[in-house]
Amino acid sequence: MSFDLSLNTGTTPKLSLQEAVDAVAAAGLRHIGPWRHLLEQAGGAEKAAQIISGAGLTATTLCRGGFLTPADAEGRSAALESNRAAIREAATIGTRELIMVVGGLPSAAHLLGGTGDRADRSVVDARARVADGIAELVPYAAEHDVRLVLEPLHPMYAADRAVLSTLGEALEIAAPHPAETVGVVVDTFHVWWDPQLQQQIARAGREGRLASYQVCDFNLPIADDALKSRGMMGDGHVDFPTISRWVADAGYTGPVEVEIFNREINDQDAAVTLETMKERYAELVKPFLRAASADASSAPTSSATV
């Protein structure tokens, strides 16, 4: 069945992998997108794979590789090594889709606990290092049948987390590589504002690179911890019907992941979160995820034909 709902474990950060898997199964869902630290806590990727498949679930993505922007040789080498490990882990838990948050500027690296040259603010150079890093990882990813899924992040995170801010730029970095090895993810929180969103989603579909669709709302005011400004679908300002139509028009039929960093949601009972998630998905997302051909008359503009 297509468009299955998947819980990204960033939504339930207090749960272990086993607890998250149990909560997902109890909610009647069959998919989960785990973060790497949960695999480690569970005793490694093999063990995590058993926990996931033991409950009859499938992993939709692994979060996350990336942080490819260190300018120094040591930082760069460590980043590549960490990404190779992430590729192996993705393969082990049975997903092809490794989400890549590409990293920010050296000038902001210290804010996330890393080192970095606080004078180096060149976003142009940082993007070039991302492209180089991806190129370096592609053979290893292909060998493990894993796809590096580039995630454009909201520009409010461009300095510290990802110098990749638009789907168009993600597709440019992906372009030199095979579509089965480098893809992109559409996360509504990050890209809803982009005036080129419709055309770039259509392009991602045409190029066979649309690897994941993640839904979560953009709340205002921005939370005091800006990372926690993500909201449950319907609570913020994202136009889910329109973006979901564009995604479906682009030919996407895969799972839909919900990844919400939000203090209130992260603190509440996961069963409550999962129920709300299912309701909002059924109301705001799923009805609009019909293939273009089945909906040609009501879709205002078919981006697939642009």
**Footprint on this chain of a copy of itself (rule: CB under 8 A):** 105, 107-108, 111, 121-124, 127, 154-156, 158-160, 163, 165-166, 168-169, 172, 192-196, 198, 218, 220-222, 224-226, 236-239, 242
For a copy of itself, the closer CB: 127 or 280? 127
Quote the tokens at residue 284: 């705001």
Q: Residue 21: is it exposed, middle or buried by C-beta count within 10 angstroms (0-12/13-18/19+)? A: buried
DSSP characters for 94-158?
T-SEEEEE-B--GGGGGGGT----TT---HHHHHHHHHHHHHHHHHHHHHTT-EEEE-PPPGGGT
Distance CA 93, CA 161 (A): 25
For the CB of residue 160, give the shortest distance to a copy of itself in the complex, in Å: 6
Beta-bridge mates of residue 6: 31, 257
How many residues in total does the chain contain? 306
For the CB of residue 194, give the shortest distance to a copy of itself in the complex, in Å: 7
Are the beta carbons of 214 and 256 closer than 8 angstroms? Answer: yes
For a copy of itself, the closer CB: 39 or 216? 216
For the CB of residue 35, give the shortest distance to a copy of itself in the complex, in Å: 22
For a copy of itself, the closer CB: 55 or 227? 227
For a copy of itself, the closer CB: 15 or 159? 159
For a copy of itself, the closer CB: 43 or 287? 287
For a copy of itself, the closer CB: 38 or 174? 174
Are the beta carbons of 197 and 191 closer than 8 angstroms? Answer: yes
User: Under DSSP, is residue 16 helix (H, G, I), strand (E, B) or coil?
Assistant: coil
For the CB of residue 4, give the shortest distance to a copy of itself in the complex, in Å: 25
Q: Which amino acid is at 231?
A: G
For the CB of residue 139, give the shortest distance to a copy of itself in the complex, in Å: 26
For the CB of residue 105, give the shortest distance to a copy of itself in the complex, in Å: 6
**Cβ-count burial 233-263 (b if 16+ within 10 Å, e if not):** bebbebebebbbbbbbbbbbebbbbbbbbbe
